[in-house]
Amino acid sequence: MIIDLKNLTIKKVHEHFIKGDFTALDLARAYLKNIESKNKDLNAYLEVFDDVEEQAKIADDKIKAGKADILTGIPFAIKDNILIEGRIASSASKILENYHATYDATVIKKLKEAGAIFLGRTNMDEFAMGGSTENSAFGVTKNPYDHTRVAGGSSGGSAVVVAGDMALVALGSDTGGSVRQPASFCGLVGLKPTYGSVSRYGLMAMGSSLDQIGPITKTAEDAEIIFNEVHGKDINDSTTIFENTHPKKDLKNKKLIIGIPKNFINKDGVDKEVFTNFEASIAKIKLLGYEVKEISLSDIDYSLAVYYIIMSAEASTNLSRFDGVKYGLHKDGKNLLEDYLMTRGEGLGKEVRRRILLGTYVLSSGYYDAYYNKANDIRKTIKKTFDNVFREVDVILTPTTPTPAFKIGEKSKDPLQMYLEDVFTVTANLTGMPAISVPSGFTNDKLPIGMQFIASHGRENILFEISKVFEKNGVK
């Protein structure tokens, strides 16, 4: 049987395994063949693991024994900041180029128990700092739709391997849109779960109050399957929540109300084709029988500034551990301080250094109250605004990004223009709400466009429901 990688889903693969149409080993080899032919041009994988076939054989034994989980034998790609015991986890940084993880992240442990196959680790913006994967110490990842354009970031490699049929599904991390934005740029589904619903244990921290691990997939159903497998309370992560922390709403006979924040979206900087696609998505939502209601999100204009203050502050603190003393790159200076300066100066890229400096500044004496504390106060106000809005609507619809994938190098010299790409995505991280990006069409140049659905805490079930209906009715 010829394996049609382009149209496979998790359920389809599982059914083929059970029927005996092909084996996990056959599927793994098909992906390895694609990786060999495509990755040199796209630079999506930093490493392809050398034991993929051995992993597949173990999965096949499990399938033959009738002990297969829905994810048994499913080929995953893993972002380079998620730890797999014994594997290199560099976070796409020179300072950790040869660091080998000493334990499994909780999500990896759960996937191993399910029998998933890990194909390799994917490229990303260094320490997840960026929206284009141009900040990787190991080269830019290219968009599979146009190799002159970025893949998005920071989980760009994870998105490209799925879009390029070099993995069935992938894991990324989302601090301000780093799963949703590359998913949008590559025509995929990207989920940022409710904060605390998926353990961060074994994820290299950038912004501890913002980070969440999420799946990048071709369908909303695949994202749902993975989320259901990896979410849950974890004793190793005190921020994780119990499943009943946010009770689910019964969707039976419920007509969902979709909120449209026109005051936030009618702004300069939103690409004309993205805005046209947004209007078309609203029309599509109405035709599908959903009620549409215009809403106002006061204080949301401050979200991007608040996000970059809080994220930089937390990143500067988290990255202080990478000093070359216990692990990673080490440079010898005349004294300990010079060791630090030489190691971090050579091992960390420009964007990482920029954010460390910004974060250290806003946390410094005399500026802590003026910047960091004020940002946290406004963050609470933004959260209250969304809580109030979700008393009126079930879901909020926005574009995922203000533009389609931009040219490589186009924004790398202007950090502010790059940061503006996060304008629609950062609010979900600031508030802890779940959000999902789904494909909604293409530009005239055949570049993917994504729409973002945001729900209140713990309402991933609503996001999956509406996303499956939305994608079922086709992307034009």
Q: Which residues are catalytic?
A: 79, 154, 178
Tally of CB atoms within 10 A around 409: 12
The DSSP annotation for 418-475 comes to: HHGGGTTTHHHHHHT--EEEEEEEE-TT--EEEEEEEESTT-HHHHHHHHHHHHHT--
Q: Cα 429 from chain centroid?
A: 11
Peptide bond into 178 cis (omega under 30): no
Tally of CB atoms within 10 A around 352: 27
Tally of CB atoms within 10 A around 279: 11
Position 224, amino acid:
E
State whether the Cα torsion 65-67-73-77 is positive or negative: negative
Whole-angstrom distance, CA of residue 220 vs CA of residue 225:
9
Tally of CB atoms within 10 A around 367: 13
3-class secondary-structure state, position 270: coil
3-class secondary-structure state, position 62: helix
CA proximity to 231, closest of 273, 267, 194: 194
Which secondary-structure segment (H or E) carries 205?
none
Q: Where are the beta strands (DSSP E) in 336-418?
A: 395-399
Are 166 and 77 contacting, i.e. CB atoms less than 8 angstroms apart? yes
CB within 8 A of 424, min separation 6: which ones? 177, 265, 398, 399, 400, 401, 402, 452
